[in-house]
Every structure is written in structure tokens, then in C-alpha cells.
Chains A and B, each alone.
Chain A
Amino acid sequence: MQFTKPGLLAGLAFGALVAATPAYAQVTLKVWSIDGVDRTGIADTFSKEFDEANDDIVVEYRAIPFDEIVNETLRAFATGNAPDIVSFDNPDFALFSSRGAMLDITDRVANSPIISKAEYFEGPLNSVTWEGKLYGLPKYTDTIGLFYNKDLFAKAGITEPPSTWAELAEDAAKLTDPANNVYGVTFSARAGEEGTFQFLPIIQMSGGGANKVNTEGAAQVLDIWKGLIDNGYASRDVLSLGQWDSTGVFNSGNAAMAISGPWEIDRMVEDAKFDWGVALLPTINEDDQKSSALGGFNWGIMANTQHPDEAFRLLEYFVEQEDRIFPEFGNLPARGDIELPVTGEAKKDAALVVFQDQLQYAQPRGPHPEWQKISKAIYDAEQQALTGQMPAMDALNQAQATIDTIFKQ
């Protein structure tokens, strides 16, 4: 019982301290992102740093798994508990920006001494733009290219990686070696966003886009891909494998080419026991318009924030730190003014040069508020064609009919 009195005093003193602290009002900012769910990333690290460096602002960070962040934010926004800053995968962004759920930061960015809109790549910038206004900023970006096994290429007597899909099919035929369990090529045509991610660039190369998918060129490439599967040059399981698993097949030497992105590089340096390189995504005809998928996340301030000024300050801090995101987290900045440091790993550095080149051709998915429905129409059509349930052109026409109803609304 002797401790009661000092304890009480200490409690009082502590209480007085707490009561005295908000002499200048503290602002609490809520930040939601997928970083920190399985490994630390950009959002959790920088939020913590900003929280510690600024006494007038408290940053409450919450990590939400990839599959849940859109639903969680939708619910929170509907009930008035939305975060101040949130980070979405770029095709999901328009769902919010088109409905006025994100804060228009066009003027703030124009007046910011830290953020320079002109430095951002066009594709990522389009994904945060809606009707000419800027509703967010790209957080990082990525894209896809063609990884190829140089040892197997040399063995098959092929000197250059393919630059068109027809060449890729020819090479795949030469590289396939069933006796040693080697497929010519692997990719992902899964029933999900990854399927669209890898197939939409083909539509874009052929002159189409998310609103026009039934092009001759897209049908032609689908037929080539179907041939790859039917002839055993690619595993039929490309229809259910995600990109990470599909590239795992390449890393173990069981596929001579793989379509995937820069997020594979670190694992490939570790796992692949052969010489490999990266080439630009093949085109339909030799001198066609190049295209590639645009991955990566965006930042946005939600429209119903109570503290837009403080939230923008935090956003500026995130942008200020962007030269650190590649060395620390392996993410590619969505800006042209940041030089990537040389890592000293020859294959990795060579690959990054190609991916930076490829990024210039990367086009966003959408932006459209009902992107997910468009995406399902596209990957459904791709799968119908590849499994032979429908001729490629019929499948694409059916997808076009679905997409037309979405764009008409």
C-alpha cells in the first residue's frame, strides 16, 4: 500500500504532461497501404519516419492485404471512416477518382516546390488523372518484358531474342525439349488481373485498347499462343499459373523464355543457375507500335479528409524520398529524373536498363471506374480462345459486346 501515494502522484504528473502536450494542436493522419503485410515497403517505412520527424502530426499507419484494400476503403468511405491517404494498384484508382472520392490535387501539385509533374512517365500519370484533373501521384511503377535463358538459346543455335510473336513461336519450337522437361516459353494467362496484365499490351500493339479489344492483331497473337500450348511449346498450366509461379518454371530451367516483370530479378539472381537476359516484349509485326503493361501503385488523398494541407505535406515527403525506393525496396520510381544506382550485379543492371526502356511504352489499364469488369471480359476472352472453346475472333467479339455495354453507361 505504500506505493499508492507515489503512484497516484506519478499518475497525476503524467496526466498533466499529456494534458499539456497539445499546446499546438496535433493532427492525426491515417495512411492505408499494402506495404508491411508480408514485408516492409515504401508506405510503412516513410510514414513512420514522417511521424517521428514531425511533432505536430501523428501518422497512424495501417497495412491491409492486397485483396482487401479496395473493399476495405469502399466500406470505410461509405461509412465516413476513410483514411486520409491511401495507396491503390493503378487500375483500381479510377474507381475512386471518377466518383469524387479522391481529392483534386492539381493546383497543390502545380504550386509544390517538391513535386514536378513533368518528370513523371506518361502512363503512370494517366492512371491518376481523371477528366484532366490530377487526383493522386504514382508511387512506383513496373512493366513486363521477355526473360530468356541465354544458355538454352546458344544450345539451340539462336543468337538473338525474338522481336515478334511469330519469331517467338519459331524459337519456342526449337527450344522445347520434352526429354529434359523444357518448355519453349512460359507466361501467365490466368483467370484474373494477371491475365489481362499480360494480354492487354497485345491489344494495344494491334491498335486497340480497353475500349476496342476485337482487333485482327490480337486475334492473330491469341492463335499463336494457342498454337504454343497445343504443340506443347508452353505448358497448358499457363492458364492457371500466376506470373510468380510461371517464372519459377523459368528459374528452374524448365522453360527457355518467360514473360514477367522486374519484381522477378532479385529471385532470379539467386535461383537461376544459368546465364539470362531480358528483351523488350515482342510485337506483332517488326515495325509495329511497341507496348507493354503498366504495373505499380498510386498515392491519393481521400476527398473527405479533415486535414488536406497536412496530408499533402506527407505526400510531398513520400515524393521527396523517391530516390530511396529502388535501393531500399527494389521498386522502380515512376519518374525520369531519378538515376538508378548501379548494383554491380551485371545481369541485374542489364535487365534494369531494358525495363527502363520498356517503361516508356507502358500503357495504363483504363483508367475506368469499372475497370474490373472490363478486365474480366478481357481475360475471359483470352482463356476462351486459348482453350479452344471459341475461335479467337469470336471470343474477342463477345468481350467487345460486354465492354460496349460498360462504356455506353
Chain B
Amino acid sequence: MSRYFSGLRDGIGFDIILVGAALLFLLALAGAPLVYNVLMSFQQVDMFTLGSLFRPAVGFDNYVAVVQQPEFWLVTRNTLIFVFGSMTGQFVLGFALALFFAQNFPGASTIRGLFLVSWVMPGLVVGGIWSLILAGDYGVLNVILRSFGIIGSNVFWKSDPNFSIWAVIIANIWLGLAFNMLLLSVGLAAIPRDLYEAAELDGANAFQRFWTITLPMMRSTIGAVLSLGLIGTLQQFDLFPALTEGGPANTSNVAGYWSWQLSFQLYDFAKGATVSVMMFLLVLFASVIYVRSTRHEVRG
């Protein structure tokens, strides 16, 4: 008996308890809803069966119906543009800012801290503010662009099908910039200074130092930032209702918002679940690539 308890305190039993608690938590709060969601995507769901678990099974009917929606390919295209546009913008600008604030100049760390403001702001507020900035007739952005002579007439960011998805991307880049910058700053700070000093003594110029020291040393950080960026971008929701509501005519609709629209505006819960399962597969695919690409990494 006492051996049993001591095993619980500091033997393999203790490890199992720790892992078990975490696993139980994960299964209850992430696993179960996920399985329920997948289950729902193969069922016929209406208001009377909303509360029950076992509903008439319809096989792949929901998947076929979703793909046959006229907006399916448009939404797919928009999702890809939104993900790549947002991630590229957030990452490139975030990296540039991180490098800039890694230089030693007075106030560098204070100003870097101030960037957190955008990360603290709720998405709906950010969306509301950008909605004013991007307004066609009286928006600030148009006034600035016009006064610099970049545009001749007003750009209707939210209402022009050529720009609507980019309006959301611009707001999303601003929203995610600080998070990217901070994570990358931490990665930069972890690179030992003496590496740069040695390289400088050997006559490497700034570009060579960046290319041969900074980037390789940052590899795992960059991987983490990009995969978090992908997840964050795919689950971005608040900006859509605040800016374009997916319009005009779905030209700024993406999978996440579409899934919500299907479930909670059109009350087609099965199709909503189907779209989110498709998104889940996309994220799964990306995570597998991420895990494989960093598998042989020596971390530390």
C-alpha cells in the first residue's frame, strides 16, 4: 500500500497522473467538441434534433452540398488570399520592426512595449476603427492617399469587390503585427552576441550576418510564429462583421466567417460544421508540415 502511494508521489504513477490530468482536460474541452463537430457534418441537423447526439446520417451529402454552393470556390480563393496576405504582411513587417527595435537606441524597449496596445485591443473595436479609416467618402486613408497623389479618386475599400478582402487584410495585419514582432524579438534576444562579434571580425557585412546567423538561429521561432499566425488568421472573425460582413457578394468572405454565417445566420448547422471540418483539415495539414520541418531541429 505504501509502495503504491510512494509510486504516486514520485514514480511512474506521478507522471501518469500529470499526463492524465492534462489529457483528460484536452479530451473534454477540445476532443469532444471536435468529434461532435465531425459527427454533425455527417448528419442532418434541424431545430428539433439540435439537442440530440444521434441524428439521421446523410453520409457525405453535406460535403457535396457545400462544394456545390456557388460561393464555395470564391470563399476558398478568398481564404487563401486572406491567409497568405495577412501572414506575409504580419511576418515581414513584424520581423522588420523586431530587427529595428533590437538596435540599441534610447527608448527602444519602451516603444516596443507600446506596440502591445494593438494586441490588447478587442477585434471588434479594431474593426470599428478601421471601418472608419477605410470608409469610401470620408475615410482618413483616402484623404492621405489623395493628398500624396497616389490615387486620383476615392477607393471604396469596403464596397469595391477588388479591394474588399484587402481591407480586411490591412486591418488584420495591423492587429497581428505586435504579436509577431514580440515573438520574433524574443527569438532575436536569444541569439548569443558573440556570434555576431566573431562574424564581424571575420569581415561579414550586415546582410551576410542576417542571412547566415540571424535566420538560421531563428528557424524554430519563425516556424512557431508562422504556425500560430496561420491558426490566428484562420480563426479571425471579429474584423469581418465590423468591416464588410463578407460582402460585397462574398468577395471578402472567408471559410471561418462563412462557417459562422451558415450556422448562426442561415441556421444550417450541418453545413456550418462541414466547413469547419474542412478548415480543420487545412490546419492539420499545415501543422504536419510544420512538425516535420522542425523535427530534426536542435533546440536551445
A and B form one complex: yes
Listed in ascending order, the chain A residues whose CB lies under 8 Å from chain B are 70-71, 74-75, 77-80, 95-96, 99, 101, 181, 190-192, 235-240, 249, 254, 370, 372-373, 376, 380-381, 383-384, 386-387, 389, 398, 401-402
- The CA-CA distance from A240 to B50 in the complex, in Å, is 33
Chain A interface mostly helix, strand, loop or mixed?
A: helix
Would B160 and A78 count as touching, CB distance under 8 A? no
CB-CB nearest in chain A for B246 = A191
What mask results when residues 157 to 172 of chain B are scored 1 for a CB within 8 Å of chain A, else 0? 0111100000000000
Counting from the closest, the 6 A-B pairs by CB-CB distance are A191-B247, A383-B249, A78-B50, A78-B51, A239-B159, A236-B156
Query: Cβ of A383: which chain B residues have Cβ within 8 Å of it?
Result: 247-249
Nearest CB of B to A395, in Å:
8
Give the residue among A77, A238, A240, A249 with the most B Cβ atoms within 10 A.
Answer: A240
Nearest CB of A to B237, in Å:
13
Give the residue among A370, A373, A402 with the most B Cβ atoms within 10 A.
Answer: A373
Nearest CB of B to A345, in Å:
30
- The CA-CA distance from A402 to B136 in the complex, in Å, is 32
- The CA-CA distance from A389 to B252 in the complex, in Å, is 13
Would B267 and A95 count as touching, CB distance under 8 A? yes
Known contacts A74-B47, A78-B51, A95-B47; A237 and B245 CB within 8 A of each other = no
Query: Cβ of B268: which chain A residues have Cβ within 8 Å of it?
Result: 373
Known contacts A71-B264, A239-B159, A387-B160; A78 and B249 CB within 8 A of each other = no
Query: Across the A-B interface, how many residue pairs have beta carbons closer than 8 Å?
Result: 94
What mask results when residues 135 to 164 of chain B are scored 1 for a CB within 8 Å of chain A, else 0? 111000000000000000000101111000
With contacts A95-B267, A240-B245 known, what are 11 further pairs, Cβ within 8 A?
Answer: A74-B267, A191-B250, A235-B137, A235-B156, A238-B159, A239-B247, A240-B158, A240-B247, A372-B266, A380-B249, A383-B248
Listed in ascending order, the chain B residues whose CB lies under 8 Å from chain A are 46-51, 70-71, 135-137, 156, 158-161, 244-251, 261, 264-268
Query: Cβ of A372: which chain B residues have Cβ within 8 Å of it?
Result: 265-267
Q: From the candidates B47, B135, B137, B266, name the one contacting A78 in the complex (CB within 8 A).
A: B47
Query: Cβ of B136: which chain A residues have Cβ within 8 Å of it?
Result: 235-237
Would A77 and B245 count as touching, CB distance under 8 A? no
Would A386 and B158 count as touching, CB distance under 8 A? no
Query: Cβ of B49: which chain A residues have Cβ within 8 Å of it?
Result: 78
Would B265 and A387 count as touching, CB distance under 8 A? no
CB-CB nearest in chain A for B158 = A240
Query: Cβ of A376: which chain B residues have Cβ within 8 Å of it?
Result: 261, 265-266
- The CA-CA distance from A152 to B250 in the complex, in Å, is 36
Query: Cβ of A381: which chain B residues have Cβ within 8 Å of it?
Result: 249
Q: From the candidates A192, A235, A387, name the one contacting B245 in the complex (CB within 8 A).
A: A192
- The CA-CA distance from A387 to B247 in the complex, in Å, is 10
Would A240 and B51 count as touching, CB distance under 8 A? no
Would B50 and A402 count as touching, CB distance under 8 A? no
Query: Cβ of B156: which chain A residues have Cβ within 8 Å of it?
Result: 235-237, 239
Chain B interface mostly helix, strand, loop or mixed?
A: loop
- The CA-CA distance from A386 to B251 in the complex, in Å, is 13
Q: List 14 A-B contacts (CB under 8 A).
A: A191-B245, A235-B137, A239-B156, A240-B247, A240-B248, A254-B137, A381-B249, A384-B249, A386-B248, A387-B248, A389-B161, A389-B251, A401-B70, A402-B70
Known contacts A398-B70, A402-B70; A79 and B51 CB within 8 A of each other = yes
- The CA-CA distance from A387 to B164 in the complex, in Å, is 11
Nearest CB of B to A67, in Å:
8
- The CA-CA distance from A370 to B267 in the complex, in Å, is 8
Would B50 and A75 count as touching, CB distance under 8 A? yes
CB-CB nearest in chain A for B156 = A236
Query: Cβ of A70: which chain B residues have Cβ within 8 Å of it?
Result: 267
- The CA-CA distance from A386 to B160 in the complex, in Å, is 10
Query: Cβ of A373: which chain B residues have Cβ within 8 Å of it?
Result: 266, 268
- The CA-CA distance from A99 to B244 in the complex, in Å, is 33
- The CA-CA distance from A79 to B267 in the complex, in Å, is 16
- The CA-CA distance from A374 to B158 in the complex, in Å, is 24
Nearest CB of B to A77, in Å:
6
Known contacts A74-B50, A387-B249, A398-B70; A236 and B267 CB within 8 A of each other = no
- The CA-CA distance from A402 to B72 in the complex, in Å, is 13
Nearest CB of B to A392, in Å:
12
Nearest CB of B to A101, in Å:
7
Nearest CB of B to A380, in Å:
5
Q: From the candidates A99, A181, A240, A389, name the one contacting B159 in the complex (CB within 8 A).
A: A240
Nearest CB of B to A252, in Å:
10
CB-CB nearest in chain B for A384 = B249
- The CA-CA distance from A105 to B261 in the complex, in Å, is 33
Query: Cβ of A99: which chain B residues have Cβ within 8 Å of it?
Result: 46-48
Give the residue among A239, A249, A380 with the most B Cβ atoms within 10 A.
Answer: A239
Would A181 and B137 count as touching, CB distance under 8 A? yes
Nearest CB of A to B97, in Å:
31
- The CA-CA distance from A383 to B244 in the complex, in Å, is 12
Query: Cβ of A384: which chain B residues have Cβ within 8 Å of it?
Result: 248-249
Nearest CB of B to A407, in Å:
15
Nearest CB of B to A24, in Å:
34
- The CA-CA distance from A80 to B50 in the complex, in Å, is 11
Would B250 and A380 count as touching, CB distance under 8 A? yes
Nearest CB of A to B84, in Å:
22
